[in-house]
Chain A
């Protein structure tokens, strides 16, 4: 495997001759063996160490280590640095090794896949890695393509073959590839073995949709294009077998060329941390300089005279030089302010959080059996700071599943579900779906609840029959019948598939088609219609028609299309029907359904003949053929008879409206970026409650020129400004504003606006001179929908927000077209288990349902952020408290860089005594239970505002650390200075002092972590108490006789622990120090809790109180939960649950309650908050009840 990657000069062109390995070997093309692993057993150590020492932190510690080897400088023993360094290097190395092991494993698995290679005229099984450029290999159905192949021949006629390219570009639809005609005849092995064509083509590149080359064979040249290529990563479908010539192998394949290293994303905390570490280095240098100057002065004033007892080192000849050396000595002993374990600990914590995400049962999709996956372990805390979400629509918000939901036939609407009382029923209360067992060809997955439609079919209502006949005839679906009665439809658009399937279940089974006929089983009898013409769909016509001749010879045109177009083309006799149908259409649209209008027209033979003639002529016309055809079509599609309308539900993913509502409440702005049409996008916007009827205005920007777009944006801005500025005189907006003022203090200033912008306009809006205007406008709106955008534009929009808003962005999508935005955003989320995995591969997190986003952000992200911030605060605190003691001691030991503590204590402080409790807090801490973060989305805000760890917080931690260090030194100093032990001997000997300070330090920082830990699990208990116990255990062990007898020079503290810790004075000192260090912290926190509590504090407090009245409130919560499980989509807009959260008064009330909480205007605010919460939680069922009663 090590031979896999050899460096070669860049290729100019590629030559490959079939069946001629010798010839091809000359070029030394890469073999088909891929290697994603970085090391092997031999290279692991040097390469990995080299990589690790490229990290500044590690090099810094190496530098310290070298400094320590200079005896004049060495203020610590060598192991105080080397032990942590080795530990850190080892942990990282182990992690790298494991990663690499898995890469080796997967490489091996891929490389050892079998494929059939044509060698010496016979097919032989070969491993993928042994396939060479120029080999001919045979692929069978459903096999992965092993390398980039030139398709030579296949089992299908004309050398066709079908492939699925999901792995490559994420598209699940099948694509056709065709062999060039000359090679497509090479069907059998003997012919192929003699094939000696030579391909000359472009060098390897990463363009998936381009290939150019030439085949030289039998002195002829044949051009080759991407149409002839099968790329590695594709899967062969619906093709029994095919042969291909390997052109690019292994690392040269387009797949591998595309899998560039993903850009390494850093979190804002990371960046902040790096800045702070730099600052700390500066601080360290300052302290070093101060102490060095001190040393120089001291040596000059005192040290020179003290030489009687303590001469200078040989090399040192002046106080100045001594000061210089002491600078480095102090750099060594003070280096613990930037502990080496910081980065490793941060990694460990993030890894822990990633595991929690992977393990989360509530983010596991039962249906697709996919758990959530944190694919990057470095971004977790950023999840708690997201301000903008950019979402794809299809496949992300919607399931991309179309369901035939309702229809209107001849003025009668079907599809509403009524319960026994004749009321519209809720989803949960729906009866059994209707039984299609009369129809053996029915699709079992199709569900419909309104039995009246089936009755209408059964009693032979001609309109209904004609309606379904139209659906079964007028489409472009292909059918496939593998076994008798097992029908599969291949539809171009899922809408059509849904319609044809509906017709199929209602007894009008589209069975098969030929270019000239369509066979339909109508209520059990096969009828073949002659297909005379298909008037295809396009964007301008927005309709499609078929003209068929039925067995009786009657010619009829069936047409389906958008209501806006079709309703104008009806026969005037339809007026009455048109009115009712329009009502139905409006009703459907209001429910967010996608509608189509169906119509037919009888044609007489002569008219048809004459029309067909004209159509033929139009289609043969040289110039403006399209226009001519269109006008011919237009002519025949007029005066049609209305049949009815269909309503298709573009099924939203489960829980989408609720999620969006919740995220909006958490102050996260959601932008939908979709490639879909404006109407659809707006529709979905409504159905997932991003857009509501309550909105002040929805601006739609559809300008085609720069000026238009600018004008439209300006107008939108002006309107918003007007209404917010002039509350008094703005006529139109005043009313809305006032009402919103009453209900929502938070949103009152801006009102609620939404912006819909389409691709053309976006292209202009994203130009350099307009992007700021656009951004300003868009950010003032509550919801932004961009439709018809290209993948590149998606990335541009994200980039724009990233650039100017300094906010954390998250992009979520499922398809290949979302990859760019997923990669651009701070955090990319891929929806897994949908079409393709391209988005997932580019993403940082993946899960299978949009609704999990709320959990990812509000629960995991929030916790991660909280934990990381707490961790960092404490970490800096404890190291400053620890290290700064040396600084104070410097003033009393002649600035000689003498440490206060025993060297073992310094070695172990960061890696043993204090590491685990803070890690446990960093991994397990919770301020409020997960359900509370969902209940109070405002809890998410501190993360967005970056409140928990910023420069201010950092300085507070540092100050606290320094405060602690001052007490830690001066209290023992005050006590010890003149004191003696209870046996009269000296108390203030260096070793006792060291033990006392170290012990108080360990106790104080343990107390502090105890205060910081908000969630004491057994693990926290174990670690905190364990750390203390371990401290004392190690202390006594290090000071024991046994170790001293072995290494007298290393364990000089023999007997110290027992002698010192037996002194009451020492304990009195430790207790005093601890109390003085901790008391102000407790008082401060208590005051803050009392006077200026965070929301999380309050929620926590409420929790405590609630515990006492468990039963009552638990019952309340249960009500809330039943409500949230429902999909708001199936209900009318006024009644749905999503409505309730999103637009309803509930939301405003709760935000009012929350804002009143900050304003502290009401004494019993929490009660009212709770009441409102429970109202909002329980009202879905209340909402459900309403229609029952009314």
Chain B
């Protein structure tokens, strides 16, 4: 056999890719695997499994959808556009770059009171935070406090990498374009002076971002010292270590900055600006009434047809107002249920016509 086999190789140029010949014991093993007899589950889409699935999906989805829908409807939300493109808008004057600082005031009324924690967002439209060149224009090492990256930011930050031969901290287009309007909210009460709603600026970023991803560079006590040798981003009015007065909300770990750095997926987005915490007493957080919004208008969006909004919203277990999800669930649930009915009818009719493949032996 051996001789024979070699001679075969001689002609063949070696055994083929598949083995079998080489094995001394040529008898194939009688294992379930090799004989393709592995025990297996062989599911079939029978009426008995498919129809109930459709009904169950329908029965689960519709209540969930209704739940979501109701929850979503109970959420209070108000949105105020303060871009100022309309001539009537109080902020119209701020479109001109000459007026600095430009402060405008917009009045609005809450028809219903906002209870529980209220969240204040700024919303931008037509702002492409998801553009490829924008998204990559940052240096996470620098933001994580790496001293070498601080002074030598990544090439990805170009053209916002260096300014006047000094490294920019934080570098890149994202940081450079940070939103820098200041929004203040006042409740107008009839009997007294306008009441400034306390806006909390901490606790608006993800814990992981604030504590893991973003870190100030190491060094001395003084934050300014730690950022020594760097310069502020071109568009910024003040350097990064002056973003806030509080020490644990300053520099790279400034929460406004962190929120901005978490880029949006879509060109229209909202970002959390401030928290309005529930008051201890039983009063609603924002009672119904007249308010005004005080805007320090620094952030130009007019050039690219952007819009700026301020949003006040309460939230629920599933976040803010989200009509889409509820409606989608109700729709899909209904379709599923209907499909179940249609399939049942087809299946039934089919069975009656005597052509069924259902074997009733």
Question: From A971, which residue of chain B is reached at the shortest CB distance?
Answer: B328
Query: Is A75's beta carbon under 8 Å from chain B?
Result: yes
A305 touches B264 (CB 8 A): no
Q: Is B319's CB under 8 angstroms from A376's CB?
A: no
Q: Does B229 contact A (CB under 8 A)?
A: no
Given A358-B20, A984-B119: A1072 touches B325 (CB 8 Å cut-off)? yes
The answer to whether A1016 and B40 have CB atoms under 8 Å apart is yes
Q: Quick one: which of A75, A310, A1091 contacts B173, CB cutoff 8 A?
A: A310
Interface membership of chain A positions 1074-1101, coded 1 if the CB is closer than 8 angstroms to chain B and 0 otherwise: 0110010011011101110100011011
Which residue in chain A gives the minimum CB-CB distance to B123?
A978
- In the complex formed, the residue of B with least CB distance to A1054 is B213
User: Among A926, A971, A977, A982, which residue has its beta carbon within 8 angstroms of that of B315?
Assistant: A982
Q: Are A986 and B271 in contact (CB under 8 A)?
A: yes
Q: How far is the CB of A662 from chain B (nearest CB, A)?
A: 20
- If A358-B28, A1100-B42 touch, whether A1041 touches B212 (CB-CB below 8 Å) is yes
Residues in chain A near residue B159, CB distance under 8 A: 311, 314
Q: Interface 1/0s, chain B 304-338, versus A by CB < 8 A?
A: 11000000010111111110110011001001100
Known contacts: A926-B36, A1163-B356, A1167-B359. The answer to whether A986 contacts B7 by CB under 8 A is no
Which residues of B136-153 have CB atoms within 8 Å of chain A's CB atoms? 137, 139-141, 143-144, 146
User: A371 on the interface (CB 8 Å rule)?
Assistant: yes
Smallest Cβ-Cβ distance to B316: which chain A residue: A982
Cβ A95 vs Cβ B17 within 8 A? yes
- The stretch that binds B, out of A559-567, A577-585, A987-995, is A987-995
- The interface stretch among B124-132, B184-192, B289-297 is B124-132
Instruction: Decide: A1163 near B354, CB < 8 A? Known: A361-B28, A897-B132.
Output: yes
Are the C-beta atoms of B141 and A989 separated by less than 8 Å? no
Q: Are A358 and B268 in contact (CB under 8 A)?
A: no
The CA of A1055 and the CA of B208, in the complex, are separated in Å by 6
Quick check: is B250 within 8 A (CB to CB) of the other chain?
no
CB distance from A936 to the nearest CB of B (A): 14
Would you call A1044 an interface residue if the criterion is a C-beta within 8 Å of the partner chain's C-beta atoms?
A: yes
- The complex places the Cα of A924 from the Cα of B305 at a distance, in Å, of 57
Smallest beta-carbon distance B204→chain A, Å: 6
Q: Closest CB-CB distance, B268 to chain A, in whole Å? A: 7
Q: Which residues of A contact B61 (CB under 8 A)?
A: 1075
Alpha-carbon distance A113/B208, docked complex (angstroms): 71
Indicate if B19 sits at the interface (CB-CB under 8 A).
Answer: yes
Q: How far is the CA of A115 from the CA of B121 in the complex (A)?
A: 92
Partner of B212 from the list A1020, A1044, A1069, A1105 (CB cut-off 8 Å) is: A1044
The segment out of A277-285, A1060-1068, A1120-1128 that lies at the interface is: A1060-1068
- Which residues of B lie under 8 Å from residue A1082 when comparing CB positions? 45, 50, 53
Scan A961-997; emit 1 where CB is below 8 A from any B CB, else 0. 0000000000101111111111111111111111000
Contacting residues, chain B, for A1103 (C-beta < 8 A): 42
Chain B 248-276 against A: per-residue CB contact (8 Å), 1 yes, 0 no? Answer: 00000000000100111111111110010
CA distance in complex: A971, B324 (Å): 9
Measured CA separation A599–B316 after assembly (Å): 110
- B88-96, B236-244, B278-286, B342-350 - interface stretch: B342-350
The interface-forming segment of B8-16, B104-112, B217-225 is: B8-16
Residues B270 and A990 in contact, CB atoms below 8 Å apart: no
Please tell me if B154 contacts chain A, counting CB pairs below 8 Å.
yes
B18 interface hit (Cβ, 8 Å)? yes
User: Distance in Å from the Cβ of A31 to the closest Cβ of chain B?
Assistant: 15
Establish whether residues B324 and A993, one from each chain, have CB atoms under 8 Å apart when the complex forms. Answer: no
Tell yes or no: B205 within 8 A of A by CB: yes
Query: Are A1104 and B7 touching (Cβ within 8 A)?
Result: no
In the complex, besides A898-B135, A979-B324, A1082-B50, 20 extra interface pairs with C-beta distance below 8 angstroms are A102-B22, A302-B128, A309-B304, A360-B35, A373-B16, A375-B18, A841-B8, A893-B130, A894-B130, A926-B42, A983-B315, A1014-B42, A1048-B146, A1054-B212, A1075-B61, A1083-B50, A1090-B350, A1100-B44, A1101-B359, A1104-B46
A and B contact pairs by CB, cutoff 8 A, 29 listed: A107-B14, A109-B6, A233-B7, A306-B128, A309-B176, A359-B20, A361-B28, A370-B26, A371-B20, A373-B20, A896-B131, A926-B40, A974-B325, A975-B325, A982-B319, A986-B272, A987-B320, A989-B264, A1016-B41, A1054-B208, A1055-B213, A1075-B332, A1079-B339, A1083-B50, A1101-B44, A1102-B359, A1105-B359, A1163-B355, A1167-B359
Interface of B with A (CB < 8 Å)? 3-4, 6-22, 26-30, 34-36, 38-47, 50, 53-54, 57, 61, 64, 68, 117, 119, 121, 126-135, 137, 139-141, 143-144, 146, 154, 158-159, 173, 176-177, 204-209, 212-213, 259, 262-272, 275, 300, 303-305, 313, 315-322, 324-325, 328-329, 332, 335-336, 339, 343, 346-347, 350, 354-359, 361
